[in-house]
Every structure is written in C-alpha cells, then in structure tokens.
Structure 1
C-alpha cells in the first residue's frame, strides 16, 4: 500500500476553527501529500493559499436542512473551489422509514454538482439493518462514497461498519481514527479513504513502518 497519503483527508472542522487552523491543516496536507477537509467558509482562503485537493462539508453536522438549501450550498462550495463534497444524510428520516426522501435528497445534491459527493451516514447511530438500507439508498442515488461519521456525534468509524458499507460504495472511514494502526484496520476492512484530524500522525507512522518510503518534504 504505497498510496496512503493521497487516501488520507486531513481534517479541521470544529466549531472554533480559525483561518490560522485552516492554514496549519493545509501546510500539513502539502508536507505529507494529503487531501484537506475544511469548512466551506474557508474555501476561498484555501484556494488562494495552497494547491491541494480540497474537500468540504454540506449540511454539517446534522443533515437536517432542506434539499434546495443543500443543493445551493453544494453549488457554492464547488464554485469556491471544492474538489469533493461530504454531505450529511438525514438520519431521522432514515429511522422513520422515509427511504424515498433520503434517496431523493442525496440524488438531488449529487446531480447539482460535477464533483464527487460522499454521504455521511452517522453509522454509530444506525443498526446493521439501517446501515444496509442507507448503503443501498446512497448507491441508488449515485453518490461516489459512503462516509462513516461526522466525528461530532456518538462514536466514529468501526471495522464492522466499514465492512457493511463497503458492500455498496467506496468508504471514507472517519471519526476517531488517530493512528496508522487504526487506519490500517479500516483499509483492511474495505475503506478507500481515511478522514482524520490526525492525518499527519497517520502518514508519519505509516512512513516509519515502511522501509524505503520517501521522507516527507519540508
């Protein structure tokens, strides 16, 4: 596995995130060859500051906005330079059995932009049956990825959840992944990406354990 850095999305999404926090995140992404996941309000700053693949979030962290609002936010994020979007699904609608509404919401956001859309499903809040349902709905909506969690609810990524979700779409394991050992377990379970505020730690530990890996540029 020699492409780990480009499969890691170094993340800063907390409610107190400042412009300087974003710059630090971008510096780490540049140094280690990672992607960066940042709040949408900082996309203009990021596109001026660094040439790294940029991911941002839509309807974060609860996914309870309207469809038209989410579509407008997605379009604005793309206009501002986002290369990929991570939207939050409406867990309440899923639990209420309103599968058509969940699928249609995702489908409309996907159709509103020409960039990949990942769907954050808050796996820690879902039963196995619900994980299978949301996996199928997201696939039907033609989203590019499933993402395990926001990191701002109950728990984060688990091997079990990744194994289920990866049956339906490529998976971004996010929430509580703070070391290379944890990231490696997610990759082995079927994850294609890792989202983590400790992305730099993950890549550094991976390099330390792989003989012949090129050192990070400084």
Structure 2
C-alpha cells in the first residue's frame, strides 16, 4: 500500500549536510521544508542556531559526523552545544570500528554519554551498509540499552552505501515498536521511500525531498 504524499512529508528530515553548504542554502532549506510540510530540517552543527521562522518544522543536527571516530566526550560536548543552540534532535554516528571489534559495550557507553548530554530526541547512525546482520542487531540493541530514541541506517557519506530495505527490516525487527527506525542515504525517488516505510521505517532522511514527494501518485491525506 502506497503512503500518501502528505503522510510521507511528515516523516521526512529535510537534509542538507554538504560540506560546502552556505547559510543562504540553509535559509532556502527552511523555506522549502515549510512549503513541503516536512517534519524537520537536518543541518550541520555550525549552522545553528536557525534564525529563520520555522513554524512547525523541528531542527535536527548531527554529532560525530560523518566518521563516528570521535571520543565519547567530544560527541557528548557537541550534542550538548547543539541542544543549547536550538537542536530538537541529534543524529549521532557510532564508532563502527569498536562494533566490528565486538565491543558493543563501548558503543553502548558512547551512546549513553550522548544521551546524557542532550534532552532532545536521539537517533543513532549505525552505517548499516558497512555491517553484517549480526552487527546491525548488536548496534540496535546497544542503542536501545543506552536510551536512544531511534536507530538510523546511514550518514550518506560512507562508501559502503546507504539505506537498504533489508537493513531497515532487520532494524525494525530488532527494536521496532520501542525505537523508531530512520532510513537515510540514497533514497532518491518515491518508490524507494515507500519501500523503506513498508519495511518499517518511521522517519526518512532525504536531501532531494521535493523530487521524492513529486513522485507520489496520491496527493491526499493520511
């Protein structure tokens, strides 16, 4: 069953995380998010605070992005500062190397440090395309144990790729109903977005939001 354009828009973090993004582009992002009815915008911490009128649009930012190879203290400090600057949500990148070494306990600890540092909604980026199924499950369990609100597939910057239906299904099977699941990375058309929702995604990270929404054949409400 296809999700409607209106319903899909309310699940979208309208994203601009390019390294050369300008404040003028962020202003345009905010305006477009309001026009399209997206849930939030997602921008780099250096773009905070957002001075444009947001209306109902929430503000998300990233932490330890994109490599995840920051110390837990650095990630926590970044998340705390972003929250003070108006971020409603923080998307943090885990240390993938630790997970691959079998140190899910240390991954849990770094997530817990960021959880303590921000009162807002916390999403945990696991780079699912770079993980085995067992590692995906371990990352999701660590995120849940540390008190995160969401698990998220990808930064969109890793060479292994972005979101896949299989990864979203596995993440939803592991923590769905307790944590949200955000699919992000490589979602460029409506069919792919709809497939992610059917697989269990409850939030989508999109940079080409308008093009994705324009692909919907249903302009109705929920």
Pairs aligned (count)? 210
Query: What does residue 53 of structure 2 align with?
Result: 50
Deviates more, 1:2-11 or 1:146-155: 2-11
CA deviation vs aligned residue, 1:93-124 (integer Å, no higher than 9, x gap): 00011111100100111122111100000011
Aligned position for 1:74: 79
Unaligned runs of 5+ in 2: none
Which residue pairs with 1:157 in the alignment?
163
The Cα of 1:23 is off from its aligned counterpart by 1.4
Deviation digits for residues 113-169 of structure 1, max 9, x if unmatched? Answer: 111100000011000111111111111111000000000012100000000111213
CA contact under 8 A between 1:29 and 1:200: conserved in structure 2? no
1:114 and 2:124 aligned: no
Whether 1:180 and 2:180 are equivalent positions in the alignment is: no
TM-score (norm 2): 0.91
Equivalent-residue separation in structure 2 for 1:111 and 1:200 (angstroms): 35
Alignment partner, residue 27 of structure 1:
31
Match of 2:89 among 72, 84, 88: 84
SS at match of 2:102: coil
Contact 2:7 2:221 in 1 (8 A): no
Distance in 1 separating the partners of 2:220 and 2:142? 42
Q: Matches of 1:158 and 1:212 in 2, distance apart? A: 27
Q: CA deviation at 1:28?
A: 1.1
- The TM-score, its normalising length taken from structure 1, stands at 0.92
1:17 to 13, 16, 21: 21
1:172-198 deviation per Cα after TM superposition (whole angstroms, max 9, x unaligned): 100000111110000000000110111
Kept in 2: contact 1:132–1:165 (CA 8 A): yes
Alpha-carbon shift at residue 26 of structure 1 (Å): 1.2
User: Deviation of residue 211 (structure 1)?
Assistant: 4.7
The alignment yields a C-alpha RMSD, in angstroms, of: 1.4
**Residues 5-61 of structure 1: CA deviation (Å, up to 9, x unaligned):** 1211111101111112211211110110111111111112x2x11212111000100
In the TM superposition, structure 1's runs of 4+ consecutive aligned residues that sit over 6 Å from their partners are none
The structural deviation recorded for 1:203 is 2.3
Distance 2:193 2:92 in 1: 22
